[in-house]
Amino acid sequence: MNTLKAVCDAVLKGVTSGTARVPGVVAMVTDRNQDIYSGAAGERVLGGTPMTADTVFAIFSTTKAIAGTAALQCVEEGLLDLDAPAKDYAPAIGKLQVIEGFDANGQPKLRAPKRDVTTRMLLLHTGGFGYDFFSETYRRLAEEHGQPSVVTGSRGAIETPLLFDPGERWEYGTNIDWVGQVVEGIRGKKLGAVMRERIFDPLGMDEIAFTRTDAMKARTATIHARGADGSLTPMDGFALPDNPEVDMGGHGLYATVPEYMKFIRMWLNDGAGPKGRVLKPETVDWAVKGSLVPPQKVTMLPGVIPSLSNDAEFFPGLKKDWSYTFMVNSEDAPTGRPAGAIGWAGLANSFYWIDRKNGFGGYWATQILPFGDPVSFPGYMDFETAVYRSMRAAKAA
C-alpha cells in the first residue's frame, strides 16, 4: 500500500523536475486534528534557496475565505445585515455606477444601478465587480483609462464601475475586497487588525499578514512568469505591496502554508480553534452551502490578460456553486473530492480544498503567473487525487 507521504512526495518531485516544471512547491494535508502530510520540493527562486515548509507565499485569492469569515462573525453578532445595502457599512460603494460599454470616443457609458449592492451579493460574487484579467471591459478601463490593477492595493483599484446590475449573475471579481471594507466600517479598524484579533490569534496563526515582518520577507518565494515556450523567469520586481493603502480582503495576504492549514482545520471543526471559537457550528453549516440562485452559476474564468491568467476552470463539465465564500462542487469530482466540498485558488497558482464530509483538506502553493499554469494546476489535481487514493487504500486495509 502506498503511504500518503510516498504518493504525495512523488507528485512534488515530479512537478519540480524535468523541463516542464515549477520552480518550487509546498503542499500539505490536514485532518481535523493535525497536519498529516507536509512536503516541500524545488526552490523559492530558480537556482536559489531550497523551498521549505516555512516559505512565505503571496496567497492571493485564498485570502477571500478569511475575509468572508470576518464578515460572518459580524453577522453572528447582529452587526451585519447581509441583505441591507452594503453602502450602509462602506459608503463609497454607493457611488459606483454600471458601465454599459464605451461611446464612439472610447469614453465609458455609465448609469445608476437598478438596485443597491448587498453584502450577500458581494460574498456570492454577484455584486457586479470583475477583474481586469478576466473581464474585457475592465482590461480596457485599465489600458485606456488608467484603472489601477488590484495588485497595487489601492483604493482606486476597487472603486470601479459595476459590470452589470447587482444580483444579476455570478462574476468573479473584487467583491470580497469590498466585503473587507464592510467589515472595516463595522469594526472601526483595518481589516488586518480585525483578522489578527478575531481569527489569527484564536487559531494560533502567526505568520500571516497583509504586511510582512522582516523574517517573513527573508523567506518569501519569488513569483515566476511562465513563457509561451514553457520557460520560467523570476519576476524579481513583482510583489503584493506591504503596508497597502487598502487591506485587500480579496487577495492581499502573505502566509506560510502551515498557518493556512490552521484555518482549514477551523472549518473542518465546525468553527472551533485551539484558543477559542471563531464561528458557531450553525454558521459554518450554512456558510459552506452553495447559495447561488439559478440561473446564476459559476462559470469558466476567461483569461483576457495572457500574462496574468489562462482560461481556467475547476472540473470542467461539472456543476459548481458558490458559498460564503468558497466554490462548492455540486457533483463528485474526478479527484475524489465529494459533492458539497469547498475550496478555491490564488492567482499565482495556489489551490486548496476542504472536505468536511471526510474530515480533511489540503493546500498546494506555487508562485507562478499566469493563473491556470499548465504544470502547477495539473500537479495540484494529481496531488489531490493521490491524497484521496491513499485515504481510500488506508480505509480498505
In contact, 363 and 261? CB cutoff 8 Å: yes
Query: Would you state the cell numbers that stand for residue 77, as one nine-digit string?
Result: 453578532
Question: How wide is the angle at C-alpha 325 spanned by C-alphas 156 and 133, nearest 5°?
Answer: 45
Cα four-point dihedral sign 93, 94, 95, 97: positive
**Bond preceding residue 370 cis, omega within 30 of 0:** yes
> Active-site residue numbers?
61, 64, 172
Q: List Cβ neighbours of 249 (8 Å cut-off, separation of 6 or more).
A: 63, 64, 66, 67, 70, 176, 177, 178, 179, 180, 181, 183, 191
Strands 272-273 and 224-226: unpaired
pLDDT of residue 2: 65
Residues 6+ apart with CB under 8 A from 104: none
CATH for 4-84+189-396 is 3.40.710.10
Q: What is the pLDDT along the chain (397 residues), one digit of tens a residue?
A: 469 999 999 999 999 998 899 999 999 999 999 999 999 999 999 999 999 999 999 999 999 999 999 999 999 999 999 999 999 999 999 999 999 999 999 999 999 999 999 999 999 999 999 999 999 999 999 999 999 999 999 999 999 999 999 999 999 999 999 999 999 999 999 999 999 999 999 999 999 999 999 999 999 999 999 999 999 999 998 999 999 999 999 999 999 999 999 999 999 999 999 999 999 999 999 999 999 999 999 999 999 999 999 999 999 999 999 999 999 999 999 999 999 999 999 999 999 999 999 999 999 999 999 999 999 999 999 999 999 999 999 888 8
**63/246 Cα distance (integer angstroms):** 14
Give the pLDDT of residue 1.
43
Q: Which long-range contacts (CB under 8 A, 24 or more apart) does 107-111 make?
A: 108/141, 108/145, 108/161, 110/161
Phi, psi for residue 177 in degrees, rounded to 5: -60, -40
Contacts 24+ apart (CB under 8 A), 198-202: 198/70, 198/73, 198/278, 199/66, 199/69, 199/70, 199/263, 199/278, 201/275, 202/273, 202/274, 202/275, 202/276, 202/277, 202/278
Q: What is the pLDDT of residue 396?
A: 87
User: Which residue has cell 500539505?
Assistant: 28
Q: Which of 2, 3, 38, 68 is nearest to 284 (CA)?
A: 68
318-342: burial string, b at 16+ Cβ within 10 Å, e else: eebbbbbbbbbbbeebebbbeebbb
Question: What does the domain layout of the chain look like in residue ranges?
Answer: 4-84+189-396
Cα 260 to chain centroid, rounded: 12
Question: What secondary structure letter does DSSP report for 42?
Answer: E
From the list 63, 93, 250, 87, the residue with the least C-alpha distance to 173 is: 250
Give CA–CA dist 168/16, Å, rounded.
Answer: 43
Closest among 278, 385, 289, 303 to 337, alpha carbons compared = 385
User: Coil, helix or strand for 107?
Assistant: coil
Q: What is the pTM of this model?
A: 0.98
Report the distance separating Cα 383 and Cα 237, nearest Å. 30
Work out whether strand 320-322 and strand 276-277 pair parallel, antiparallel, or are unpaired. unpaired
Cα angle 177-178-180, degrees, rounded to a multiple of 5: 70
**Residue whose grid cell is 523570476:** 234
